[in-house]
Structure formats: structure tokens, C-alpha cells
Amino acid sequence: MAAVCDQGDPRVPAGGGAVNLPGDGGVISRWTEHLAGQDTVEIGQRLPPHSPDCAGCGPRNPAGLDLQVVRTATGVEAVHRFSDAQVGAPGIAHGGAVALAFDDLFGFALNTVGSLAVTRSLTIEYHAPFRLHRPYTFSAQVAQREGRRLLLHADAWDDAGQKAGSAAATFVVVDPGHFAAGAEQGMGRGD
């Protein structure tokens, strides 16, 4: 397996705070500051949400998962219970909601390598139904870097230790300007 990414990707400005996209509420500049290691999160500590309104982790999004993610020695981890709002078949979380959890967790795994990147492909293996209201432990890490491509892997286990799902993704490193068009249209309410 190739080496995991080095810190300080050239696409992430060293002075992350200098990034200023009108209308983004400071979200992108906070990401870049964070990814540039200007507010280091220790192993075992919680990582800040991508934004207050993020569908995966934003505490202000009533339709979101409100994932709470901690840094681990090898990547990131979240314990999550799907709610009635994420139901698919009776009593079972919708597969799209499970994919959202994996994708968002991958977004947090970027913190371990210091690169701003977006999902290019995402593959989920559903090993068993994700039951509503039951705790699942999601764990993700960046496995490999090939040029601009980051290859990520994640697993999710139920509270009996059975694997319920796994995911693989390719993220592609981008510069902050990638988000400019969306920011102009307003990314959430900002703060």
C-alpha cells in the first residue's frame, strides 16, 4: 500500500484564513484553516462539523444526521443511531442515509491528511440492515494517495460487533475555488 498523504497539499493555501468566498459564511476558510493544521485536533477529540447546516454533521440541520466525529489514531470514528427521519423499509435505515453517513465521515477523514477534496465515487456494501435507534460505530481512514486521488475505506459495526456495512470512495483534491459557484448562490445561512 502506498504511503498516506503528506501534510500541506499545495492546493490548500498555507494561510487558510486568506480564502474568502463571498456568501459561504466562512465555511471554506474554516475548512482550509483546519485542513492546513492551524487548529489541530488530538486523537480522541471531536472534530468540528463541516458547517452548521451540513446534512451529515451540521447541528443546525433538522433533516441532517448530526454525526459526531472523533479523530482516532488511524482516521476518524462516529457512533450513530439512525432515527425515524431516516427510515427506509420499516424499522430499517434508508440506504441513502447510510451512504450519507459514510460520505460525510470520509469528509472528516480528510483532516488526517490535510487535503481539501470532494467525493468522485462512492461504493457501499450493505452487509446487514441498519436498524433504527441502534448504535453503529463507523470508522474511516484514507488508505492511499495517487496524485490527486485519495482512496478511502470505511466500515460500520453494530453493537454486537457484527459488520453492517463498508464503503470505499475516491476523493479528488480540489482548490478552494472549486466551491466558488456554490458559495455565490449561498451555502446555508452562515454564521
Ligand X SMILES: CCCCCCCC(=O)SCCNC(=O)CCNC(=O)[C@H](O)C(C)(C)COP(=O)(O)OP(=O)(O)OC[C@H]1O[C@@H](n2cnc3c(N)ncnc32)[C@H](O)[C@@H]1OP(=O)(O)O
Sheet holding 136-146, edge to edge: 69-71, 76-80, 136-146, 149-157, 163-173, 117-126
Place of cell 490527486: 148
Binding mask 51-80 for ligand X (x = CB under 6 A): ------------------------------
Q: Closest approach of Cβ 149 to ligand X, in Å?
A: 5
Interface residue with ligand X among 5, 31, 80, 142 (CB under 6 A) is: 31
> If binding is defined by CB under 6 A, does position 85 make contact with ligand X?
no
Select from 7, 51, 92, 81 the least CA-distant residue to 191: 51
Q: How far is the CB of 90 from ligand X (least distance, A)?
A: 28
Determine if 92 is a binding residue for ligand X (CB under 6 A). Answer: no
Distance CA 86, CA 89 (A): 10
Binding-site member from 70, 99, 172, 180 for ligand X (CB under 6 A): 172
24 binds ligand X (CB under 6 A): no
In the list 50, 71, 80, 145, the residue contacting ligand X (rule: CB under 6 A) is 50
How far is it, in rounded angstroms, from Cα 111 to Cα 13? Answer: 15
Contact map string, positions 103 to 142, toward ligand X, x by CB under 6 A: xx--x--x-----x-xxxx---------------------
Q: Is 14 in the site for ligand X (CB under 6 A)?
A: no
Q: Which of 22, 147, 181, 185 binds ligand X (CB under 6 A)?
A: 147
How many other CB atoms are there within 10 angstroms of residue 134's CB atom? 16
**Closest CB 173 distance from ligand X, rounded Å:** 8
| Phi, psi of 78, rounded to the nearest 5 degrees | -145, 140
Contacts with 16 (C-beta within 8 Å, 6 or more apart), sequence order? 29, 31, 32, 33, 34, 35, 36, 38
At 10, list the grid cell.
Answer: 499545495
Given the rule CB under 6 A, which residues bind ligand X? Answer: 31, 50, 103-104, 107, 110, 116, 118-121, 147-149, 170, 172, 174
